[in-house]
């Protein structure tokens, strides 16, 4: 693609996250052209197209893909529909930014990775933490073996989510749609805390470490909601590392806590994502510290994954959050939900494919 051209992008799904993050990001990116929107809800679709001045609308994904010449699509539909929508685009060799969680089931996630490899369209997963400089540096050190093999991992994701999981519409400022009852519905969203929030931490963990889960023990509590509010996972990885990770969606916003610690044979990684700080140190690595500039609040831009799709489509950047990372996150979560349903019994990743 010539540098003077713009990346032609369509957004599939016009709900809360699309209208709050992806559509504004595309319209603010001078290298992107938002050419079409797609949603089964015709009223929501028409309202969004009018608000943002998007010229073409479709209520059917196949009609969109047949009717437009696209370099990339953003899939921001409900979790349960991710597989079918992303697969349709990947089969055409179109680059896809797929919101997290990648899918609800490991077999579907693996199929999407295979489709991406077969047809040449990049599959980017919407994990914005993976684009932070300390996550990228941690990944580099782990891949280079500078810290030695991972042995023990701890992680926590505490962030208020009751307003999402309650199923009650949220009051939104500006033109953004409310999530409504989507996140409280197991049929459309799978689970709650795990699929909505823990997936961020898990995606970061796999991005940094390159590990793969082998066996998962899980306990979840709903506390009156239709989906899980509090999760605790014990994970055994291929190669022998183990992890204890968990979190709650019941905290007040001021108690937001997102931590990941990776203890290796020759060093460690300590990331405080909520504060935007990190410490990397080891026997073969000089101490590296990361912190946001003084007096600045740490926020990873919501546009960072959107911009990566545009850059990938234009051939000027690599995929910053690969599908393989999303697949490994889905494997862990798929096993975790099955384990919780079985009273905490261990579930192997291998059994997910039987």
Q: Phi and psi of 227, rounded to 5°?
A: -130, 170
Cα(123)–Cα(133) distance, rounded to whole angstroms?
21
Q: Which residue is it, tokens 């919407």?
A: 126
pLDDT in tens, 207-222: 999 999 999 999 999 9
**Which tokens is 279 given?**
């410490």
Domains and CATH numbers, the chain: 7-127 (3.40.50.720), 129-301+318-353 (3.30.360.10)
pLDDT tier for residue 14 given thresholds of 50, 70 and 90: very high
Assess contact for 90 and 115: CB atoms under 8 A: yes
- Rg value, the chain, Cα: 20
Cα(205)–Cα(86) distance, rounded to whole angstroms?
24
- Torsion angle in degrees (nearest 10) through CA of 253, 330, 125, 79: -70
Please give the model's pTM, rounded to 2 decimal places. 0.96
Q: What pLDDT sits at residue 299?
A: 79
**Which three-class secondary structure string do you get for 322-344?**
EHHHHHHHHHHHHHHHHHHHCCC
pLDDT in tens, 93-140: 999 999 999 999 999 999 999 999 999 999 999 999 999 999 999 999
Assess contact for 94 and 85: CB atoms under 8 A: no
pLDDT in tens, 221-247: 999 999 999 999 999 999 999 999 999
Average pLDDT, the chain: 95
Q: Phi-psi category of 112—alpha, beta or left, where left has phi over 0 and alpha has psi -120 to 50? A: alpha
């Amino acid at each position: 693609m010539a540098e003077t051209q713009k990346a032609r992008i369509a957004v599939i799904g016009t709900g809360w996250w699309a209208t709050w993050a992806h559509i504004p990001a595309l319209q603010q990116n001078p290298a992107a052209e938002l050419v079409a929107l797609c949603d089964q809800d015709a009223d929501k679709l028409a309202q969004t197209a009018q608000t943002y001045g998007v010229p073409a609308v479709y209520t059917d994904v196949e009609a969109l893909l047949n009717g437009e010449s696209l370099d990339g699509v953003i899939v921001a539909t409900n979790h349960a529909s991710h597989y079918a929508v992303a697969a349709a685009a990947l089969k055409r060799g179109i680059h896809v930014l797929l919101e997290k969680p990648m899918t609800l089931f490991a077999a579907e996630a693996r199929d999407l990775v295979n489709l991406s490899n077969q047809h040449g369209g990049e599959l980017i997963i919407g994990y914005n933490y993976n684009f932070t400089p300390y996550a990228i540096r941690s990944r580099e050190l782990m891949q280079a073996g500078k810290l030695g093999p991972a042995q023990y991992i701890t992680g926590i994701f505490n962030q208020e989510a009751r307003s999402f999981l309650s199923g009650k519409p949220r009051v939104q400022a500006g033109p953004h749609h409310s999530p409504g009852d989507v996140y409280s519905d197991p049929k459309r969203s799978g689970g709650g805390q795990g699929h909505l929030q823990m997936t961020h931490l898990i995606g970061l963990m796999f991005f940094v470490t390159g590990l793969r889960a082998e066996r998962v023990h899980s306990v979840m509590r709903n506390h009156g909601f239709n989906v899980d509010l509090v999760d605790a996972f014990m994970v055994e990885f291929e190669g022998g590392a183990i992890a204890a990770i968990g979190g709650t969606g019941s905290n007040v916003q001021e108690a937001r806590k997102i931590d990941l610690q990776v203890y290796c044979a020759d060093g460690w990684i300590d990331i405080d994502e909520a504060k935007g700080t990190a410490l990397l140190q080891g026997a073969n690595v000089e101490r590296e510290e990361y912190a946001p500039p003084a007096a600045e609040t740490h926020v990873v831009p919501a546009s960072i994954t959107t911009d990566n799709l545009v850059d990938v489509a234009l051939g000027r950047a690599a995929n910053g959050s690969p599908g393989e990372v999303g697949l490994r996150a889905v494997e862990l979560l798929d096993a975790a939900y099955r384990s919780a349903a079985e009273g905490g019994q261990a579930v192997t990743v291998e059994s997910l494919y039987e």
